[in-house]
Every structure is written in structure tokens, then in C-alpha cells.
Amino acid sequence: MACQTVLYDWTGLVRLIKQLSVLSCFVAVTAIAYQLRPSLAVAGGSACFAVGSDFNGPSTRKGVNSHQQILIGASEFTMGTNNGYPEELPAHAVSVGEFWIDIHEVTNKQFAAFVDATGYVTTAEIKPDPEQYPQIPPESLVAGSASFVKLDDRPKGQWRDWWKFIEGANWRQPSGPGSDLKGRDHYPVVHVSYQDALSYANWVGTELPTEAQWELAAQASAELKEANTWQGYFPLQDKALDGFDGVAPVGCYTADSNGLFDMKGNVWELVQDVFDSPEHDANLAPMRVIKGGSYLCSDNFCQRDRPQARQGQEEDFSTDHVGFRTVSTQLSSAVNNQ
């Protein structure tokens, strides 16, 4: 919980958080062309994919807790790139066995079923133990999570101008105290840490994807021209031309040729792999890779709307633009079926 706890200490926020590569480009994704579907801009995304409905096909299945999955065949593909950010280099051949992957990100409704069944408490809901952080005043040790805050004037250009730690923000209260999940059953669950995502996957009987699995599955999304991103000058104005200002319900944009929704945009997605960075403070929690970009993509800020793009996030840290989906390498179509 070291990273999360650092955020409680406002006097040390700038000094320590600069070391976190994930937040140095936290809103990193560039929106490419937009081919908009007019039906998207309807109340509450009612035109979006009906989560939990039948989505049948020769390579689909439905498992525990309404996890609809697509089979991705075994393949050798080129992972990474020779023309990108340093952490994406170099391009290299990777072989991946076949696996099943969720067609959309895990939703609030799905995560709520897990919490109801197990009593699980997420990282963001836990007040840090003062004995573990003697250097931080006890009054600064509060539960909460990081959220994007839209600015009303031109910022200095620093990520800390638009990222705020909000006491009481968590998956149940995504905008902080007083907010709730009413009307958001089919939105991706956010404010979850790697530890939270892993616990959920273990309960369902699936796994978090490896980075190679995720990137292979995402190859088909590279040519999609629509995604939940930011239209306008980031971080001042999101014109919401894609139908949403902020996170969208899952499945509101055209699926890729694999049948997968939101493999880019909407929320970043946690995967298993450790993210190594020479800038990472060894005293903080290990980092895991996140993939896919988020609703904060903007064509004036960073260029990470590609399957190869990757960032890192501390295992015990959470935000309002990171979620996850799961995979299974148990290949029988009957596995976990209800």
C-alpha cells in the first residue's frame, strides 16, 4: 500500500509521485480518427451491448458470473514495436497458446456479485495501518483513490494538475462520498488495484491475462476507428462527440474482428506482468503492466492508442480509469459454464 499511502501525505505528493512512470503519462492515449455512431449518444448508453444477453458463436462461451468469452487461437505474433516509447521496444516474436478472454471489461454488477458472496474489501476502502507508515502523520492515513478532475482553465501541463486523491473514493463511490453506482451496473468497475482484480479472477475461476495474451487479442482492435476517448483539448474540454464524457458502459463501440469490445479506450486494463522501470522507487509496491488506454485519450497528449502501448501501475494503487478483464486457459467449452 506504499504508493497509495504516499498520496495521503500531501506535503510529499510531488516529490514521491514523480517517480511513478504510470502517472507521468497517466492519461496517455492518442485518439485517431473518429467514425461516430449516432445511436451512441442516447441516455445512459442504452444502445450499448446488452451485457448478460446471449452472444453466441462458434468460438464463444458463457461462464461463471456472466463471463462471456471469445476463444483466441494459438499464434506466434510480433509483440512490441521498434518505433515507439522505450518501454515498448523492441519488436520480438512471441508464441501464445489458445485461451478464452472476456468480451468486455469486468462490470460493477459482476464485481458486486463477488463482494456480496465473499465480503471482500478493496484496497481503496482500507485505511492504512499507521505502524506500517510511521513517517506519515496518522491523520493523513485515510482510505480513498485517485480520480481525474477536469480543469476549467489552462493548466501548467503537469499531471498533478488534473489528478487528485479523493478520500472515500472507491469502486462503490466512483466520484467520492455521495456518489453511487445507480444506473452504472454495466460500467467497468474502477478504483480497483491489481490485488483486487486478482482476487476477483481467483473467485470466478479465471485469471488475469498475461501481457502477451492481451496484446495478441488486441491486435484486431488496431484498425478500429471508434473508441471511448477524449474529443477536444485535454484536459480542459471533452466535447463528448463519441457519446460519453467519462467512462462508458462496456460494449458501446463496434467490436473488433475477434468479437472483443473496448480493447482500446474506456479504461486501462491490468495484466499479470511486472512492469520494470529504472525510475521506480524500490520502496514502493511492485508495478504491473496496464494496457489499452482510457477515456482520457486525446490527440494533443501522448500517443498510446496502440496494442503495443504499455504503462505500469503499483499493485496497491487504484484510479478511476483503470479496470480489468479476465482469461482462461481451461479450453473445454464446458469449463465454468452455468
pLDDT-derived band at 27, boundaries 50, 70, 90: very low
Total structural domains within the chain = 1
DSSP class per residue in 64-124: GGG-EEEEE--EEEEES-SSS-GGGPPPEEEEE--EEEESSPPBHHHHHHHHHHH----GG
CATH for 25: 3.90.1580.10
Q: Is 338 among the domain residues?
A: no
Q: Is 148 among the domain residues?
A: no
Q: Is 152 among the domain residues?
A: no
- Encode pLDDT of 136-160 as tens digits: 788 878 999 998 877 666 555 665 6
Q: Is 85 among the domain residues?
A: yes
Give the domain extent around 257: 21-117+179-328
Q: Is 49 among the domain residues?
A: yes
Of residues 132, 182, 94, the one with CA closest to residue 6 = 132
Q: Is 322 among the domain residues?
A: yes
- Encode pLDDT of 308-326 as tens digits: 889 999 898 899 999 999 9
Q: Is 4 among the domain residues?
A: no
- Mean of pLDDT over the chain: 79
pLDDT-derived band at 164, boundaries 50, 70, 90: confident
Of residues 71, 55, 76, 104, the one with CA closest to residue 332 = 71
The confidence score (pLDDT) of residue 160 equals 63
